[in-house]
Chain A
């Protein structure tokens, strides 16, 4: 069975600093996708970044990058130059090649301090 684990219920970071949000996963499928979503206090789910299991390079999207370590089964999200607007819940999720069904972690609440 697939599983996503986010071990950090809450994180604090100083504005303009970088922060890493941890995510580990468990799957026996060779083909899978890893996703990160942001949920601000307003409640909407915002897609941030995607990494495929066969991708050779780590995914990057602006200030977001995904530190993909396949052997360790980790897919940590790195946010560079944190902004106050980055304060939100962050969810790691994965699917496999059997369908788009996403399995979510329990989330990490990030607070950016001015």
Chain B
């Protein structure tokens, strides 16, 4: 692994289903983030974690949850997916909260 990996690359999901998007980094970065990117709205922060064991809410947290059990992994869970959660999801990490963020390749999620 080099950098940040996300899985799956893309997913089509039925509304009401539970889904976890995976994110792993091998750079030993302390901070990690989840963004969603929608046409015309740019990237918006969903949740973040400044260090393992802590998480915080971003701009659009409703319908999503995260956990940070260790430094490397930061999964994003949709407990009951809705069509408005159709988006491209990016995971990012930074050495600490004030450094530049490096992004994963993204997950394209479609909720029908």
- Is B42 in contact with chain A by the CB < 8 A criterion? yes
Given A91-B42, A99-B56, A100-B94: A43 in contact with B88 (beta carbons within 8 A): yes
The complex places the Cα of A93 from the Cα of B33 at a distance, in Å, of 14
Given A45-B90, A101-B58: A35 in contact with B100 (beta carbons within 8 A): yes
- Is B22 in contact with chain A by the CB < 8 A criterion? no
- Is A11 in contact with chain B by the CB < 8 A criterion? no
Which chain A residues lie closer than 8 Å to B59 at the CB level? 101, 103
The complex places the Cα of A44 from the Cα of B31 at a distance, in Å, of 19
Report how many residues on chain B are interfacial, defined by Cβ distance under 8 Å: 28
Given A43-B105, A44-B106, A45-B90: A100 in contact with B40 (beta carbons within 8 A): no
Contact assessment for A47 and B102 in the assembled complex, using a CB-CB cutoff below 8 Å: yes
The complex places the Cα of A105 from the Cα of B94 at a distance, in Å, of 20
A95, closest chain B residue (CB)? B98
Given A43-B105, A43-B106, A45-B90: A104 in contact with B42 (beta carbons within 8 A): yes
Which residues of A does B touch, CB under 8 Å?
Answer: 33, 35, 37, 43-47, 50, 91, 93, 95, 97, 99-107
Which residues of B does A touch, CB under 8 Å?
Answer: 31, 33, 35, 40-45, 48, 50, 56, 58-59, 88, 90, 92, 94, 96-103, 105-106
